[in-house]
Amino acid sequence: MYLAVMLTVQESAHRTGRSPETIRRWIREGRLQAKTVGGRRLVTEADLAAAIERPRSLALPEPWRTSPSGTPAPDWVEAVHEARKGR
């Protein structure tokens, strides 16, 4: 039988280098699954790993998808994600 390791919001924030409010927002948005046990929100290590595996870029409005010169706009979320890998 496999027992999942459960982490609190604070522990999840510490492990990911994000703020506790970011973890709470991910839970509210459905990006991160959580269970409430004894009044505390808990997430599994596996769910946390899946939530941070790839950044979620937002769709840009049509006018923002290209620069004034006509070249495609960069994916800034992906760029920041890649930059953070080198911490």
Q: Tell me, yes or no, whether 48 and 62 share the same domain.
A: no
Q: For residues 11-50, b (16+ Cβ closer than 10 Å) or e, as one string?
A: bbbeebeeeeeebbebbeeeebebeeeeeebbbbeebbee
Q: How far apart are CA 83 and CA 80, in angstroms?
A: 5
Q: Tell me, yes or no, whether 5 and 44 share the same domain.
A: yes
What is this structure's pTM? 0.62
Tell me the average pLDDT of the chain.
Answer: 87
Q: Would the pLDDT of 41 be above 90?
A: yes
CATH number where 42 lies: 1.10.1660.10
What pLDDT is attached to residue 79?
A: 81
Q: Tell me, yes or no, whether 74 and 32 share the same domain.
A: no
The domain in which residue 29 lies consists of 1-53
Q: Tell me, yes or no, whether 67 and 49 share the same domain.
A: no
Q: Would the pLDDT of 29 be above 80?
A: yes
Q: Tell me, yes or no, whether 24 and 64 share the same domain.
A: no
User: What's the rounded mean pLDDT across residues 50-72?
Assistant: 81
Q: Would the pLDDT of 26 be above 80?
A: yes
What pLDDT is attached to residue 65?
A: 85
Residue listed under structure tokens 């496999």:
2
Q: Phi/psi of residue 55, each to 5°?
A: -70, 155
